[in-house]
Amino acid sequence: MTTDLDSSAKLRPDLDCAPPHTRPRPSGTSREEETPDTLSGPLADARAQLADAIEILGLDDGVYSMLAHPRREMTVSVPLRRDDGEIELLVGHRVQHNVSRGPGKGGLRYSKDVTLDEVRALAMWMTWKCALVDVPYGGAKGGVRFDPKLYSRDEVQRVTRRYTSEIIPIIGPTQDIPAPDMGTDEQVMAWMMDTYSASLGHTVLGVTTGKPLELGGSLGRPTATSLGVAHVALAALSYLGRRPSGTTVAVQGFGKVGRGAARFLREAGVKVVAVCDEYGAVFNADGLCLPELEAHSAATGSVLGFKGGEELENSDALLYLDVDVLVPAAIEGVLHAGNADRVRASLIVEGANGPTTPAADEIFRAAGTLVIPDILANAGGVIVSYFEWVQANQAYWWSQTDVENRLRERMERAWNRVLEYAALHDISLRSAATVLAVDTVTTAHLTRGLYP
């Protein structure tokens, strides 16, 4: 195990010696209005995790308030002319949680479930993710509330260009750099880049990441998040003394992250016995043939109907299978107080953002289940987005081998830091990861100083 924690990741010297949970809460501004109890969903979870880190670090309530609220947020109207000529009004958001360590960085999602609080939570998690894996960004996130599957490609393009034009004042290669997320892809990033560039009168490749290769994208970016999930999953199996060849895994979600994570784990020798999408789940105790399943899903739009596996009762049934590893790679809050005690996997690797609630975390910790938190497990995407941004700024592109080697190095370094810190302070991997990230961001913010 690596024991080389760089100084920026450590707690302040006066706090290193005291057991984290024995430190008294500092006095300061009341946190009554900021408590997660007044909220629900992802933002409540994100603020609860922040509050835990603030307490472990011994920081005051003023720092909590500063980090619990976004630095800047914008809500915009996105009028859309449908293909039939009707006008529909959509709503979009862009939230910049913290920019103390560099420009905002975070995905853009298109979903009928997008809310401002969800975007706030995702932006906060992006801040911690960037700090944890040491990329010089703050956290940001965006979303437009609509289901792109119900709209034509031309309509999605019009939504993208209008949304981009509305948020142009707060984005840019040195301000805030969007990337793909749920419901968006490299074509959406190309439209965003073109819209932004047209407004300035010249091409600005660095305004988005996750673009097509022809427009300044990076080799290795489409699979980066999935590959990062696989790297830390394999590192955790090694830590637990398990061989990939004797391990079974179930993957919830067969989209951008889950599909690639399943493929990379299978290539490493792990037996992928179940996957699911929004329509249902398939299972094969002997292991699913992923190339055939991917072809079936691409042809039909779902994993259902795949002849190489039996259908489970529903997608949730996948969460409770008797497997060694569970990879929730779909949406937030799928593991909660109502179902955590039914999960039989001994290792959970969070491919999605926020799939585990704080209540479920407590249940897993009591049961001895190891949870690799989202801000570590799925950080591969933002790492390679950073690589893409660097390449665009230099107009010099790396080989896929260079990209993947650098990705593996950063993921393994972050894993070792978190693992060591959790062991040193007898806290969960999530608490350790959040503490390390919050301490890094707080140090940067306070070193810069509060503007009068």
> What single DSSP character describes residue 37?
G
Q: Which helix (H) or strand (E) holds 447?
A: helix 429-448
Q: Please state, as a whole number, how many other Cβ atoms lie within 10 Å of the Cβ of residue 59.
A: 21
Find out whether 130 and 444 touch, Cβ atoms under 8 Å. Answer: no
Task: Report the alpha-carbon distance of residue 130 to residue 126 in Å, rounded.
Answer: 6
Strand 370-372 and strand 87-98: the pairing is unpaired
Could you identify the residue written with the tokens 């810069």?
Answer: 448
Integer distance in angstroms from the first to the last C-alpha of the chain? Answer: 45
Active-site residue, 141 included: yes
Nearest CA-CA partner of 231 in 122, 130, 223: 223
- Per the document, the length of the chain is 452
The number of angstroms, rounded, from the C-alpha of 58 to the middle of its chain's C-alpha atoms is 27
CB neighbours (10 Å) of residue 77?
A: 11
Q: How many CB atoms lie within 10 A of CB 263?
A: 20
Name the residue among 120, 121, 99, 56 with its Cα closest to residue 434.
Answer: 56
φ, ψ dihedrals at 421, nearest 5°: -65, -40
* Candidates 10, 105, 112, 141; catalytic one: 141
Both structure tokens of 165: 């034009």
Rounded Cα distance between 251 and 246, Å, is: 17
- Pick from 135, 75, 147: nearest CA to 106: 135
Beta bridge partners of 87: 81
**Distance between CA atoms of 354 and 267, rounded to whole angstroms?**
27
Continuous segment of H or E residues that includes residue 281: strand 280-283
Of 7, 20, 89, nearest to 435 by C-alpha is: 20
- Count how many Cα atoms sit within 13 Å of the Cα of residue 179 in the half-sphere of its side chain: 27
Q: State how far the Cα of 176 lies from the Cα of 169, in Å rounded to an integer.
A: 10
Task: Provide the annotated active-site residues.
Answer: 141
